[in-house]
Structure 1
Amino acid sequence: MHRWTDLDQVPPGFGPSVVTIGNFDGVHLGHRQVLTRMVADAHAAGGGAQAVAVTFDPHPRQLHRPEDAPPLITGVRDKLELLAETGLDAVLVQPYTWEFARQSPEEFVRRFLVDGLHAVTVVVGHDVRFGWQNAGDLSTMLELGTEYGFTVEVIPEVTTPDGARRWSSTWVRELLVVGDVSGAAEILGRPHRLRGVVVEGDKRGRELGFPTANLSADADGLVPDDGVYAGWLSVVRPDAGSRERLPAAISIGTNPTFAGESRRVEAYVIGRTDLDLYGDEIMLEFAERLRPTLTFDSVDDLIATMNDDVAKARVVLGI
């Protein structure tokens, strides 16, 4: 999959293309259903059409209303990996700046979709908005399609099998902020993940017999609610063809038993005390919440509960 971070990186003569536009935060099942169908339609139509997604970094709301910007479910690198899994031919990650935002709807369509990507079909939802102050809507896109010679395919809302609710990134966030990682996984179609570098902590876990890998505070991904989770730890190595997933018990919180103040994400790889991960980039995947954060009266009580956490995690993870 081609990955571009500027329109100028699109090679001359690229296209024709079938293009869709969106933030695709989390790349949940609704996104995947639309994208895989779009890819299949583009490739089946003949004429060498390529399937392209245009997305944005940062999220537009972080520019227009930063105080109301949603926490991102996935970072850009994970989003690109997940988008690649849908079979897309290319993704343009457009820097969302004031210069870009101030384009009129027609300027955006002409510059990006027509001249840049040579779109023959543009795939949008009923609620599409684009251009300065969201002045462009579906009727605008249809009019511009007629003017510039591309068709517009309107995709219906993708809902749960019972039709009760639309798949959405908002729904995933609602579940993660209360710690329902298994519910979020049902919408994402995969475990929720965090990615970051392992940094030094207090080394208290090692003293207790549970050495942990502490995730950097600037890790990518939405951190779930405080608590203890069963999950997986993988070391990210760019030159490796695949990642070894190690079973883990993951703790999120401030360590109230020891009067901690800063919120931390730390993972104990079950059964392993020999790992040295400092400075490594790791990925944490969340399978199930085991319990909320608790304050213990003694270290012995804490260790007993941690042993119980590990036993429960083993059951959840099937090890």
Structure 2
Amino acid sequence: MTMHVERLELVTGGARPQPKHPPAKLVATIGSFDGLHRGHQVLLQETIKFAELEGAESALITFDPHPRAVLTGAKDWAYMTPLQEKIEVLKTFGIKRLYIIHFTPEVSALTPQDFIELFLTPLHIQHYVVGFDFRFGHKACGRPEDLISDPSVKLTIIPPVSTEGEQQKIASSMIREALMNGDMDTVRHLLGRPYRLRGTVIRGAGRGHTIGFPTANLLLSDPYVIPGTGVYGVTVESGTLFSEERTPLLAVMNIGTKPTVEKDAKLSLEVHVLDYTGDLYGQELIVSFFFRIRSEQKFPGIDALRAQIQKDVQFAKERFLWYTSLGSEKP
């Protein structure tokens, strides 16, 4: 579906950023939304619901880069949903407008009232939908109630969304931890979808071809959170390569340093597409993670490595067949 995407920047001298053609009425939710997990999705659903009831357009207002990356000075901040991935995922939810505030130290220094005046007032927001822990403004001193100094503006505060049978609220930190542990069942449960990486296939050493399991080396398009080292059952898709329908193909991905064949190597991401013999070089692939097969291991030699990869591939085929038999969580 079509979604209006617009960037908003703090203008030198403190003048208001001027959005292009803002709607007369807007229902909006605000936050970083890294991961767009099930807790975030409740905010999206409520925002869309109120927009439909009130004859307004729905909007999500987010920040880029992530505020924590700016406030901590982190140069290597990793995202579960980098901006382009966030845009692609948001399109599937039905949000009409996405406003991206360029987050800078100057933006972080704004008082809550200045932030509202400069960024929110020009958008004609008549109803805010935010989480119970939403904070904004300098040193996060602004609270949800500060958004509605105008009595005509409505505010809906969404309580924490918890995992089934537990009291702990769904949080991005939980998903990051599960990714580091390779716990893709938990990741998929908390996200409501498989975790994805996007990147371009580059040339590697070609060892996979020599042992009968050609692999595509993936150069990530953005600074993603990379799952913990190990071998995973994944699917890959590319609208320009496999089919117009972007039908996912089954694959096995290794994330690690290839200790059997290299010493002190950098972390690499290699994917072996099952039963596929075409040339992948230069193609953009989207990799979706479904399960972890095993941890990374160092084998005594190439023959032992080849035998284990054969087992990995067979395990992946059987596991994907099981998913398909379930019908509800098939890739």
2:257 and 2:266 in contact (8 A); partners too: yes
Quick check: 130-139 or 182-191, which moved more?
A: 130-139
1:91 aligned onto 2:98: yes
Match of 2:276 in 1: 272
1:6 aligned onto 2:13: no
Q: What is the CA–CA distance in structure 1 between the aligned matches of 2:141 and 2:41, rounded to whole Å?
A: 28
1:170 aligned onto 2:177: no
- The AA in structure 1 aligned to 2:126 is V
1:160 to 152, 163, 177: 163
Distance apart, 1:310 and its partner CA: 0.2
Q: What is the CA–CA distance in structure 1 between the aligned matches of 2:163 and 2:94, rounded to whole Å?
A: 23
2:36 and 2:191 in contact (8 A); partners too: yes
Distance apart, 1:171 and its partner CA: 0.7
2:129 and 2:158 in contact (8 A); partners too: yes
Q: What is the CA–CA distance in structure 2 between the aligned matches of 1:138 and 1:9, rounded to whole Å?
A: 24
Residues 1-319 of structure 1: pairs in structure 2 closer than 5 A: 1-6=3-8, 10-45=19-54, 48-67=55-74, 71-115=78-122, 117-142=123-148, 144-146=149-151, 149-216=152-219, 219-237=222-240, 242-260=245-263, 261-273=265-277, 275-318=278-321
- The AA in structure 2 aligned to 1:123 is V
- The AA in structure 1 aligned to 2:39 is G
Give the number of equivalent residue pairs. 311
Q: What is the CA–CA distance in structure 1 between the aligned matches of 2:313 and 2:244, rounded to whole Å?
A: 29
Cα distance per residue 1:92-136 (max 9 Å; x no partner)? 121111232222211211222222x10001112222211122221
Cα distance per residue 1:183-230 (max 9 Å; x no partner)? 101111111110011111111111111111111155452110110001
Q: What is the CA–CA distance in structure 1 between the aligned matches of 2:18 and 2:252, rounded to whole Å?
A: 42
What TM-score results when the alignment is normalised by the length of structure 2?
Answer: 0.88
User: Would the alpha carbon gap of residues 39 and 203 (structure 1) be closer, same or farther in structure 2, given more than 3 Å must change?
Assistant: same
2:184 and 2:290 in contact (8 A); partners too: yes
User: Would the alpha carbon gap of residues 13 and 187 (structure 1) be closer, same or farther in structure 2, given more than 3 Å must change?
Assistant: closer
User: Would the alpha carbon gap of residues 271 and 224 (structure 1) be closer, same or farther in structure 2, given more than 3 Å must change?
Assistant: same
Q: What is the CA–CA distance in structure 1 between the aligned matches of 2:22 and 2:248, rounded to whole Å?
A: 41
- Partner of 1:93, secondary structure, is strand
Q: What is the CA–CA distance in structure 1 between the aligned matches of 2:213 and 2:181, rounded to whole Å?
A: 26
1:217 and 1:264 in contact (8 A); partners too: no
- Partner of 1:5, secondary structure, is strand
Distance apart, 1:65 and its partner CA: 0.7
Distance apart, 1:269 and its partner CA: 0.3
Tell me the C-alpha RMSD between the 2 structures: 2.1
Distance apart, 1:241 and its partner CA: 6.2
Distance apart, 1:177 and its partner CA: 0.5
- Partner of 2:193, secondary structure, is coil
- Partner of 1:164, secondary structure, is coil
- Partner of 2:95, secondary structure, is coil
Gaps in structure 2 of 5+ consecutive residues: 10-16, 325-331
Q: What is the CA–CA distance in structure 2 between the aligned matches of 1:162 and 1:68, rounded to whole Å?
A: 38
- Partner of 1:160, secondary structure, is coil
Distance apart, 1:164 and its partner CA: 2.4
Distance apart, 1:308 and its partner CA: 0.4
- The AA in structure 2 aligned to 1:36 is Q
Q: What is the CA–CA distance in structure 1 between the aligned matches of 2:233 and 2:167, rounded to whole Å?
A: 29
Q: What is the CA–CA distance in structure 2 between the aligned matches of 1:136 and 1:69, rounded to whole Å?
A: 28
Q: What is the CA–CA distance in structure 1 between the aligned matches of 2:262 and 2:72, rounded to whole Å?
A: 35
- The AA in structure 2 aligned to 1:2 is H
1:197 and 1:219 in contact (8 A); partners too: no
- The AA in structure 2 aligned to 1:255 is K
1:61 and 1:68 in contact (8 A); partners too: no
Distance apart, 1:40 and its partner CA: 1.4
- Partner of 1:52, secondary structure, is strand
